[in-house]
Structure formats: structure tokens, C-alpha cells
């Protein structure tokens, strides 16, 4: 009998924990990563850079949080309220501190004594790029190589669904033609890279998990307009839906309009991105090749620079 998807996820999680690939931190979807995880992860990340080196992308690394004003412009709270996380901080004086400590001593939750800081956990690593581009782009647009922490509030027992994770994204901002070309010329290179690591990959139309009734409309639009594609692989066997480990996305003028970015002809800019889910690719490799790195195919280890 085939295991249910929940059993399959728990089983994979148990194998990762027993082998010491991941270490639990007491909250679903939050893990410490061990040395063996990190070796594979770094190999994967380095391959994303060599695969897309020809883009000559400008490198930007962002902190794991973003200002509220920037977050507002992305409309993220309209589309994904269920994933949003805001930072709260203590702004009181001695009196409020004493109240907090009293509540804490009585075993109460004390976070209610904190105030929203106007800073949000960054849910998508490319957001801050657009805020830097308000104005007019040069002819040909611009390419960016962005990597950073993302946080999405979706606690899960599925090790493939972490709350805190990293995306390495290659973003293009330019015209509709150049943005589509960026996505559609980059996707086959991503596909080849992932397959070269021994993964069985399908490239399929996809939609983001937009919230609520209105979200169902956005999701349908995304599919019918072929805006988003995912690279999926059968982490939990062929009996279950495959899991997305990377994506290729065309945003149309969503960010160009929100951040008032113009292409060289003065039209509202279009954008697209090629996004590698670094933890997901790494874990898919452990699912495919086993939790003992030493027994992986030599060619895969060599590709990852993890053969010593």
C-alpha cells in the first residue's frame, strides 16, 4: 500500500533528522542545517551562478527584513496575508517593562507588550530590487543577481516547506519582450542544471498560493496567462504530486507599475525572474540520492564540488 502524503513527508523528515542533515528547532518549518547539508547547498548555489553567469547580473544581497513602505508597494498583503509576518519591538519604559515581566512570570505570552516596528520579514528576495529602480531604465534593461533570506508563515511538518529559507533569484527588469526572453531563455538552462544533478524534472505552469476568493481569480489568471512555471520533482515518489524546487516567473508590469519604473522608451517596465529554491533543491537531492553523501553518484558529487 502506498503511504499517504503526510506519512511520506514525516518519513523523509525522520530520515533527514536521523542522518543529521537537519536539526529541529522546536517549531515546524524551522531547522538548523548541518555540515553535510551545507556542503550540498553551497555546491547548488555555486552552480546557479555558473549557469547564469552570462547574464552579467549586478549582485545585490539584502537583509532578511524590509521596510513597511516597500512592502506596501508590492501589494503582498492583498495577495498573501496568510504568509505575512511583521516584526514587533519593545518601545515602552520601566512601567511597561515591569508589566511585561509580571505577565511573563505568570506564564503568560508577553509579545502583546510589543509594538509593530514598521519592518516586515521579507517574503520574496527580489522585492527590494524594484524599490531601487524607480525612474527610467537604460536600453536593454538591467539584470540582478539577488540572494537572501525569505520568511513565509506556513508552519508545516513537510521538510520541503520551511518557514525561513533562501532563494537565489536572477531578475530582469526591462520591456515585455526582454522580460519574457529572460524567463524563456533562462528556464532551459535551469532545467538542464537540475537534471545534471540526477533529478527528474518537469517544467509546469503554476500559480502562487493567493489568498481567499479574490486569490482564486489571481491564481487562475496566472495559469491562463502562463505567467508562472515551476520546476517540479517527485520528492515523495510518483504516487504523490511532485514538489516545486525552482520557478520562472513573468510579472508583467506588476512591479514596474508599483514602483514607477519605466523602460528606455518611457513605457511602464516589465519584469521576470528565475528563482532557485536553494533549500528545496538541496533536500530534493537528499531525497533522490539518500542521506549518505558518500554514496551519491560520483558525477553528482563532482558537480557539487562535494567529492572529497
Partner 1 sequence: MTGAAAREADIAAIRDALGRFGRLSVSAGSVAPETDLYGVGFTSHAAVNVMLALEDAFDIEFPDELLTRATFGSIAALADAVSRTRAAA
Binding positions for partner 1, rule: CB under 8 A: 75, 78-79, 213-214, 216-218, 220-222, 224-225, 252-254, 257, 268
Longest dimension (CA), the chain: 63
Grid cell listed for 282: 538541496
Is 124 or 193 the residue whose CB approaches partner 1 more closely?
A: 124
Of 142 and 251, nearer to partner 1 (C-beta) is 251
Nearer to partner 1, 85 or 268 (CB): 268
User: Minimum CB separation from partner 1 for residue 106, in Å?
Assistant: 42
Q: Rounded to whole angstroms, what are the CA distances from 293 to 21, 67, 77, 82?
A: 10, 40, 40, 36
Which C-beta is closer to partner 1: that of 37 or that of 210?
210
**Nearest distance from C-beta of residue 245 to partner 1, angstroms:** 26
**Strand partners for 265:** none
- DSSP-assigned beta bridge partners for residue 206: none
Write down the least CB distance from residue 178 to partner 1, Å.
19
Q: How far is the CB of 267 from partner 1 (least distance, A)?
A: 11
Q: Which is nearer to partner 1, 114 or 268 (CB)?
A: 268
- Can you tell me the distance from the alpha carbon of 51 to that of 53, in angstroms, rounded to the nearest whole number? 6
Residue 288, φ and ψ in degrees, nearest 5: -75, -45
User: Alpha helices of 118-277 — where are they, by DSSP H?
Assistant: 127-131, 176-196, 212-224, 254-258
CB of 184 to partner 1, least distance (A): 20
**Beta carbon of residue 264, minimum distance to partner 1 (angstroms, whole number):** 19
Give CA separation, 40 vs 118, 279, 289, in Å: 36, 10, 12
DSSP conformation class of 106: T
Residue 103 or 268 having the CB closest to partner 1 = 268
Beta carbon of residue 229, minimum distance to partner 1 (angstroms, whole number): 17
| Closest residue by Cα to residue 41 from 140, 206, 168, 127 | 168
Shortest separation between residue 221's beta carbon and partner 1, angstroms? 5
Q: Which lies closer to partner 1 via its Cβ, residue 97 or residue 220?
A: 220
Report CA dihedral (132, 137, 141, 147) to the nearest 10 degrees: 0
Beta bridge mates, 249: 228, 273
Q: How far apart are CA 83 and CA 89, in angstroms?
A: 20
- Measured CA to CA, the distance from residue 4 to residue 156 in angstroms comes to 16
Pick between residue 84 and residue 88 the one whose CB is nearest to partner 1.
84
Amino acid at each position: 500500500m502506498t503511504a499517504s502524503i503526510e506519512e511520506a513527508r514525516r518519513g523523509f523528515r525522520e530520515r533527514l533528522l536521523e542522518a543529521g542533515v537537519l536539526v529541529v528547532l522546536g517549531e515546524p518549518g524551522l531547522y538548523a542545517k548541518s555540515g553535510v547539508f551545507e556542503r550540498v547547498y553551497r555546491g547548488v548555489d555555486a552552480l546557479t551562478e555558473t549557469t547564469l553567469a552570462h547574464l552579467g547580473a549586478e549582485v545585490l544581497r539584502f537583509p532578511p527584513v524590509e521596510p513597511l513602505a516597500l512592502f506596501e508597494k508590492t501589494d503582498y498583503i492583498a495577495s498573501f496575508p496568510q504568509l505575512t509576518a511583521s516584526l514587533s519591538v519593545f518601545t515602552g519604559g520601566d512601567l511597561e517593562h515591569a508589566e511585561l515581566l509580571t505577565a511573563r512570570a505568570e506564564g503568560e505570552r508577553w509579545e502583546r507588550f510589543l509594538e509593530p516596528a514598521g519592518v516586515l520579514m521579507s517574503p520574496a528576495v527580489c522585492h527590494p530590487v524594484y524599490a531601487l529602480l524607480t525612474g527610467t531604465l537604460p536600453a536593454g534593461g538591467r539584470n540582478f543577481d539577488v540572494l537572501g533570506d525569505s520568511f513565509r508563515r506556513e508552519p508545516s511538518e513537510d521538510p520541503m516547506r520551511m518557514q525561513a529559507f533562501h532563494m537565489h533569484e536572477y531578475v530582469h527588469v526591462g520591456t515585455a519582450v526582454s522580460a519574457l526572453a529572460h524567463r524563456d531563455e533562462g528556464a532551459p538552462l535551469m532545467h538542464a542544471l537540475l537534471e545534471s544533478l540526477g533529478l527528474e524534472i518537469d517544467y509546469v505552469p503554476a500559480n502562487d498560493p493567493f489568498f481567499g476568493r479574490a486569490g482564486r481569480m489571481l491564481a487562475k489568471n496566472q495559469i491562463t496567462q502562463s505567467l508562472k512555471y515551476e520546476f517540479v520533482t517527485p520528492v515523495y515518489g510518483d504516487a504523490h504530486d511532485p514538489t516545486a524546487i525552482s520557478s520562472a516567473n513573468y510579472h508583467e508590469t506588476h512591479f514596474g507599475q508599483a514602483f514607477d519604473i519605466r523602460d528606455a522608451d518611457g513605457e511602464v517596465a516589465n519584469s521576470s525572474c528565475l528563482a532557485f529554491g536553494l533549500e528545496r533543491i538541496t533536500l530534493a537531492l537528499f531525497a533522490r540520492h539518500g542521506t549518505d553523501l558518500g554514496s551519491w553518484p560520483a558525477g553528482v558529487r563532482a558537480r557539487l564540488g562535494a567529492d572529497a
